[in-house]
Chain A
């Protein structure tokens, strides 16, 4: 039995540029965007008509009719129609969880190849029936006859006309992600200036990466966009410092639209495969998926920040791989908010926190800032929730490929207090 695990390689990647909400992609659905990204990947890798092992993808803001989103996209794509697919969803970690799922199946020889993907649109978000009206209609559906239906009519209310719109709020706290992050920002005393500097670096480094052609083989233009349209190549510390705060109150209100990610539309894809499969298809590995760790925090009653789960996941992953925090050439940390990244770094340097919360003997360590998000991240690119994971995997793999060898640490915080981290190597 061929049961020895093998290495799963990142062989190629493709995404469409990310677009700010209600802009360039306002006419596009999740299926349209994912289809465009997938067909771009197929065209670049010459996989037209090929049956791949499986495609995993998902979206956070999803219409009920899109329950089989990824499979439907595959059926309309240039891949063979008998390529299987499944949907998964883990908020902002969806794309990375899809990568881990496909990579694990490849490692276990259940698949030879696969695609990990994610997509999200806030411009074509599902707006549902008012929930009270929905319940009434379900009752009407269950009613025995016209008289029973008629008896339900007095329950109709004017407020039933108000639709249910997806909210960016945690169900158990009623706080938006930004409001949660504002609490963490205040607790860790992350200054406005530090946040603005991180945002500035994100924009400058993403712009430089575009200019040197880093994304040339990672991107297919879509609906007139050639680059992420949230990118502000000419922004400055001065411009960023003038923005009004968006989250938090009073003195502690340091989070602005400039150092928080904007609502964005977009879709990335990553092609994974065994080395043999890649060789047979003329595709050399960019990097290998080595390991991953998921963690969650009790942000409801546990006095921990909503977006702090990666802080817990990383030391567990490092311990399992017998690595230290300093053993990486690249750190690809999702910039949900500039302060999230900064609070994460600060937590790992704090002896008391590392001891009490993480159960370590001392500080986990220090991240070399010159290796952090070196070609920009979510603050500049934008952040279509489920899409970000696969975007970051592509970036980390390409960076390792450019360098020739090395190791990258990926970290993504997600709604619900989840956090997923992974290691790529070459």
Chain B
């Protein structure tokens, strides 16, 4: 497997510009265009950055926006944000068969083997795997791993599933996403969140994920949404933050993003104890679920 090692964190604005240009190119016919989704192979390649540092101010801003305490404990969901530029680098490279623009993040599972501190030097590595049919197009996984610099045992691993919407390549019997069990039906909400209209912009600022569907209703409309939608990973982080102080030493967090959370909104968080972990859901008071999550105690890794 080939590895591209980056000296510094790639700049997201440049990568997005590249993605936008290639989206235009894809739309063109003939020799100029890339011709659409004919190629099916994912690159057998990882992108890594060694000895990466976290910026304390950015981390604090992220913690504030997602409801974490400002502390030296790096939220697991922030490691997703820290690895995100590497995954975008991978997905905007010329050997990547699927256009970045229009991808939908449908699920994430992350495992924390041990605490990551804000002062640690970290090796980050991102890969891509498992392009497979889905009834609404195709899905694939971005895998990510964070290790303390120069060590083999990961502190954190993650798998994000993205959907490239298109002609369903399978019928309804095609593999669906792994179902994440939510809290029991009809369970009383734990909390009510008033989610302001600028949530997407605020999260974009701290995460670098400036996908236009999150930023403004007009931009979102271009992509078929009635209003701007919250980042799934914001919702996942905000839910995780409510469990601050109650997490086991090592754990796994599976989330599935259901209906988009249109902004602004008032939504409910539902939590239910499940063994040493928790079942979670974020739903609108009228019923539809935006996120379903399972937090389970995991094996403690490393020393």
Contact B244 A221 (CB under 8 A): no
- Distance in Å from the Cβ of A49 to the closest Cβ of chain B? 9
Contact A29 B245 (CB under 8 A): no
Contact B71 A36 (CB under 8 A): yes
Partner of B72, one of A79, A81, A223: A223
Contact A224 B69 (CB under 8 A): no
- Distance in Å from the Cβ of B219 to the closest Cβ of chain A? 30
Partner of B57, one of A27, A29, A31, A78: A27
Contacts of A29 in B (CB 8 A): 70
- Distance in Å from the Cβ of B278 to the closest Cβ of chain A? 13
Partner of A76, one of B56, B118, B244: B244
Q: Quick check: is A28 within 8 A (CB to CB) of the other chain? A: yes
- Distance in Å from the Cβ of A357 to the closest Cβ of chain B? 47
Whole-angstrom CA separation of A291 from B72 in the bound complex = 37
Q: Quick check: is A337 within 8 A (CB to CB) of the other chain? A: no
Contacts of A259 in B (CB 8 A): none
A39-B245, A76-B244, A224-B119 known; A32-B69 Cβ under 8 A = yes
**Nearest A residue (CB) for B58:** A27
Contacts of A39 in B (CB 8 A): 71, 245
Q: Mark B90-131, 1 if CB is under 8 A from A, else 0.
A: 000000000000000000000000000011000000000000
Contact B72 A221 (CB under 8 A): yes
- Distance in Å from the Cβ of B194 to the closest Cβ of chain A? 14
Q: Mark B231-249, 1 if CB is under 8 A from A, else 0.
A: 0000000000000111000
**Nearest A residue (CB) for B73:** A39
Specify which of A28, A32, A76, A224 lies most central, judged by the most chain B CB atoms within 10 Å of its CB: A76
- Distance in Å from the Cβ of B161 to the closest Cβ of chain A? 30
- Distance in Å from the Cβ of A43 to the closest Cβ of chain B? 11
Whole-angstrom CA separation of A27 from B119 in the bound complex = 16
Q: Quick check: is B180 within 8 A (CB to CB) of the other chain? A: no
- Distance in Å from the Cβ of B25 to the closest Cβ of chain A? 42
Contact B70 A76 (CB under 8 A): no
Interface size on A (CB < 8 Å)?
18
Contact B70 A32 (CB under 8 A): yes
**Nearest A residue (CB) for B60:** A27
Contact A35 B57 (CB under 8 A): no
Contact B72 A76 (CB under 8 A): no
Q: Quick check: is B61 within 8 A (CB to CB) of the other chain? A: yes
Contact A36 B72 (CB under 8 A): yes
- Looking at chain B, what size class is its interface with the partner chain? 10 to 19
Contacts of A32 in B (CB 8 A): 69-71
- Distance in Å from the Cβ of B41 to the closest Cβ of chain A? 45
Whole-angstrom CA separation of A78 from B119 in the bound complex = 21
Contacts of A78 in B (CB 8 A): 245
Whole-angstrom CA separation of A76 from B246 in the bound complex = 8
- Distance in Å from the Cβ of A265 to the closest Cβ of chain B? 12
Q: Quick check: is A215 within 8 A (CB to CB) of the other chain? A: no
Q: Quick check: is A222 within 8 A (CB to CB) of the other chain? A: yes
Whole-angstrom CA separation of A390 from B69 in the bound complex = 22
Q: Quick check: is A77 within 8 A (CB to CB) of the other chain? A: yes
**Nearest A residue (CB) for B246:** A81
Mark out the residues of chain A between 6 and 51 whose CB falls within 8 Å of any chain B CB in the assembled complex. Answer: 27-29, 31-32, 35-36, 39
**Nearest B residue (CB) for A220:** B72
Whole-angstrom CA separation of A81 from B246 in the bound complex = 9
Mark out the residues of chain A between 75 and 106 whose CB falls within 8 Å of any chain B CB in the assembled complex. Answer: 75-79, 81
Contact A224 B71 (CB under 8 A): no
Partner of A223, one of B56, B61, B246: B56
Contact A35 B72 (CB under 8 A): no
Contacts of A75 in B (CB 8 A): 245
Contact A222 B72 (CB under 8 A): yes
Mark out the residues of chain B between 48 and 88 whose CB falls within 8 Å of any chain A CB in the assembled complex. Answer: 56-57, 60-61, 64, 69-72
Contact B69 A31 (CB under 8 A): yes
Contact A28 B60 (CB under 8 A): yes
- Distance in Å from the Cβ of B294 to the closest Cβ of chain A? 21
Whole-angstrom CA separation of A40 from B138 in the bound complex = 47
Whole-angstrom CA separation of A294 from B69 in the bound complex = 35
Partner of A27, one of B70, B244, B245, B246: B70
Contact B57 A76 (CB under 8 A): no
Contact A77 B245 (CB under 8 A): yes
Contact B245 A76 (CB under 8 A): yes
Whole-angstrom CA separation of A96 from B56 in the bound complex = 32
- Distance in Å from the Cβ of B70 to the closest Cβ of chain A? 4
Whole-angstrom CA separation of A28 from B63 in the bound complex = 10
A77-B245, A224-B56 known; A28-B119 Cβ under 8 A = no
Partner of B69, one of A35, A79, A81, A221: A35
Specify which of A77, A78, A223 lies most central, judged by the most chain B CB atoms within 10 Å of its CB: A223
Specify which of B64, B72, B119 lies most central, judged by the most chain A CB atoms within 10 Å of its CB: B72
**Nearest B residue (CB) for A24:** B56
Whole-angstrom CA separation of A78 from B64 in the bound complex = 19
Mark out the residues of chain A between 58 and 78 whose CB falls within 8 Å of any chain B CB in the assembled complex. Answer: 75-78
Mark out the residues of chain B between 209 and 260 whose CB falls within 8 Å of any chain A CB in the assembled complex. Answer: 244-246
Specify which of B60, B71, B119, B245 lies most central, judged by the most chain A CB atoms within 10 Å of its CB: B245
Whole-angstrom CA separation of A223 from B57 in the bound complex = 10
Whole-angstrom CA separation of A32 from B60 in the bound complex = 10
Whole-angstrom CA separation of A75 from B118 in the bound complex = 23
Q: Mark B25-61, 1 if CB is under 8 A from A, else 0.
A: 0000000000000000000000000000000110011
Contacts of B245 in A (CB 8 A): 39, 75-79, 81
- Distance in Å from the Cβ of A28 to the closest Cβ of chain B? 5
Contacts of B70 in A (CB 8 A): 27-29, 32, 223
- Distance in Å from the Cβ of B238 to the closest Cβ of chain A? 14
Whole-angstrom CA separation of A108 from B61 in the bound complex = 45
Sorted from nearest, which 5 A-B pairs have the closest CB atoms?
A: A27-B60, A32-B70, A76-B244, A28-B70, A35-B69
Interface residues of A (CB under 8 A from B): 27-29, 31-32, 35-36, 39, 75-79, 81, 221-224
Extra contacts besides A77-B245, A223-B71 (12): CB < 8 Å: A27-B57, A32-B69, A32-B71, A35-B71, A36-B69, A36-B72, A39-B245, A75-B245, A78-B245, A222-B71, A223-B60, A224-B56
**What are 7 residue pairs bridging A and B, where the CB atoms are less than 8 Å apart in the complex?**
A75-B245, A78-B245, A221-B72, A222-B72, A223-B72, A223-B118, A224-B119
